[in-house]
Amino acid sequence: MAGIKEKTVREAIAYRRSVRTYTDEALDDEKVKDCIYQATLAPTSSNLQLWEFYHVTDKQKCEEIAKACFNQGAAKTANQLVVVVTRRDLWRSRAKANYNYLSNAFRASNAFRPSQKKMVLNYYSKLVPTLYSSFFGLKGWVIYLSAQIVGLFRPMYRQNRRSDLRVVAQKSAGLAAQNFMIAMAAIGYDTCPMEGHDSLRVKRALGINRKAEINMVIGCGIRDPKGVYGERFRIPFGEVYKKV
């Protein structure tokens, strides 16, 4: 792999395929770690970054997780695995981190009006807790019903139930996972995102917090040509592209 020129974004997107079988060629741990870092630069709802990334290089752990992934080729032949995890339960610490960072940024700069500072800081100290805190799910329903009523008269954010916020965390993690796979493709490494897994067994294997959720398991390696199932198929672009 030495001396290979890194691909452009367009080239990496074109190169990336869901590879089902890998060769025995080893991956550079530090390069994979850097690709995970690229994943953390993905956009995330409210910048809460409710995610964690488990970089699995231990062969025994890889085998254990492969079994939890039903021994599908993308897991069984993978040189390494990356498990993307959502941590909606960490919203308090992540909101506080944003609040502290922005407070320091505002003190160091005069570029913001007092009203802007107040609005942004209130977002993390008041709005986020209102959305994410819960009392047996009842608070979420009160907020949801209130939003539907207010929404009769003006635009209103409506996806505010506990289940909606779970989806938000999963979407953000999915964006990060895509960043990771494109970064891997850019350096000639291959991946395969897998939703087919026993999430409880994966969590046990890695000692993942019970409140966390597995977003996906990603097999990593160097592609065996047999692991790419023909030319890429996509629904005709004209069927999915809607210009308004």
Whether 15 is in a domain gets the answer: yes
Q: Which CA distances in Å does 195 have to 4, 8, 54, 71, 235?
A: 31, 28, 16, 13, 21
Split into its structural domains, the chain has a count of 1
Whether 150 is in a domain gets the answer: no
Sign of the alpha-carbon torsion through 215, 217, 221, 225:
negative
Whether 105 is in a domain gets the answer: no
Look at residue 229 in the predicted model and tell me its pLDDT: 92
Angstrom distance (rounded) from CA 40 to CA 229: 30
Host domain of residue 66: 9-90+165-225
Whether 46 is in a domain gets the answer: yes
Parallel, antiparallel, or unpaired: how do β-strands 51-56 and 190-194 relate? unpaired
Whether 101 is in a domain gets the answer: no
Query: What pTM does this model have?
Result: 0.90
Look at residue 136 in the predicted model and tell me its pLDDT: 53
Angstrom distance (rounded) from CA 174 to CA 181: 11
Whether 75 is in a domain gets the answer: yes
Whether 142 is in a domain gets the answer: no
In the numeric block, which tokens belong to residue 243? 């210009």
Look at residue 156 in the predicted model and tell me its pLDDT: 67
CATH number at residue 24: 3.40.109.10
Whether 20 is in a domain gets the answer: yes
Per-residue pLDDT tens listing for the chain (244 residues): 456 789 999 999 999 999 999 999 999 999 999 999 999 999 999 999 999 999 999 999 999 999 999 999 999 999 999 999 999 999 999 999 999 999 999 999 888 899 999 999 999 999 999 888 865 556 667 777 777 787 888 886 767 677 888 999 999 999 999 999 999 999 999 999 999 999 999 999 999 999 999 999 999 999 999 999 999 999 999 999 999 9
